[in-house]
Structure 1
């Protein structure tokens, strides 16, 4: 069956907009949760500036639990929670909830690893200068790790694109939904190729921007 571009064109445009919405809002909310989570995991760990074994162990276990759940299962498992937050479990907006829950712990771990790369001597110097824990985090720890953090966010964004495509399997909309409805169910190979190419372009673009920003920051 030939592809009707007069109908498919608007559908493709809508799918792209839905994917950008899921990835954009999903990333923003994931960063709001994930960055503080990563910072807390670093400062409360053993020998951290705010060492607290209880908080560190509890958060670490929670992060590991959510990172262990495949995204496709997570979407279904938190349907009641998704309905509580947005009033529905189907559609692009509903897909953002599991995307955030899936991505935020991942970002938390990536931020944690980036901050742990900072030379401990920088922290010791800040403490010797009389800096408070908040000043150490905001003026020393985060700026020193900024290049690595940008690369970590780049990786998380690419993972988020992949997850947003999987959201199409449960009615989340976007390019994944387009690939399933038109490409798979209607045997439209052209649609599958188009969606794959678009996803590759998105990934390459984000990776290039992330590499460029990290390179500029590390030069400074």
Structure 2
């Protein structure tokens, strides 16, 4: 294998990591509070607002129901307006982030569902405000479940980023399609698959480690 091809593989790997890092970070910043709001605004919860909860739930469900490849194409005008182009790793990061936000929100909501209602009731009995309960009870108690959800999200983003290569998103998916599939080079295709598998295993192992540390605290 030529040095130029090795350089291409290295660059594609870095591009994939960049897309996953950017979309994972932003989707966590938005999806985490959205998931908390989905939980606490339910009827009979500490910030019960049924109408707001229904609106947030509908928006989240719509975001989760659109297949990623269709989402990428559908928001091309928005992507172009935001980053100035519809191809490349920066452009691919936009639909990746939008797809991940509702995913994170539902996983955070699911993690909060595992918390015993008795903990919240005890905090209320001691005079804690709803926001104190969120910060001091809900999020700390659900920390392990939230970390698990974020790990699942990052792993999913790796596969989504590879799919983005089908429409010029860059990264390992683009490399595999252009040099592996289109040029009938099974070696490049296999290398791409192996790197993606190693990447997923690495993220999963890191996530499992952080969950174990979180559960011991």
Could you tell me the TM-score, scaled by structure 2's length?
A: 0.98
Q: Which residue is equivalent to 2:170? A: 173
Q: Does the alignment pair 1:36 with 2:33?
A: yes
Q: Which residue is equivalent to 2:57? A: 60
Q: Distance in 2 between matches of 1:182 and 1:128?
A: 63
Secondary structure at the aligned position of 2:208 is classed as helix
Q: Which residue is equivalent to 2:207? A: 210
Q: Which residue is equivalent to 1:152? A: 149
Q: Which residue is equivalent to 1:74? A: 71
Could you tell me the TM-score, scaled by structure 1's length?
A: 0.97
Secondary structure at the aligned position of 1:172 is classed as coil
Q: Distance in 2 between matches of 1:102 and 1:117?
A: 25
What is the Cα deviation at residue 33 of structure 1?
0.9
Q: Distance in 2 between matches of 1:52 and 1:80?
A: 34
Runs (4+) of structure 1 exceeding 3 A deviation are: none
Q: Distance in 2 between matches of 1:61 and 1:156?
A: 20
Q: Which residue is equivalent to 2:121? A: 124
Q: Which residue is equivalent to 2:43? A: 46
Q: Which residue is equivalent to 1:188? A: 185
Q: Which residue is equivalent to 2:112? A: 115
Q: Distance in 2 between matches of 1:84 and 1:64?
A: 25
Structure 2 portions without partners, runs of 5+? none
Q: Distance in 2 between matches of 1:202 and 1:46?
A: 41
What is the Cα deviation at residue 219 of structure 1?
2.0
Root-mean-square deviation (CA, aligned residues, Å) is: 0.8
Q: Distance in 2 between matches of 1:112 and 1:29?
A: 18
Q: How many residues align?
A: 217
Secondary structure at the aligned position of 1:45 is classed as coil
Q: Which residue is equivalent to 1:10? A: 7
Structure 1 portions without partners, runs of 5+? none
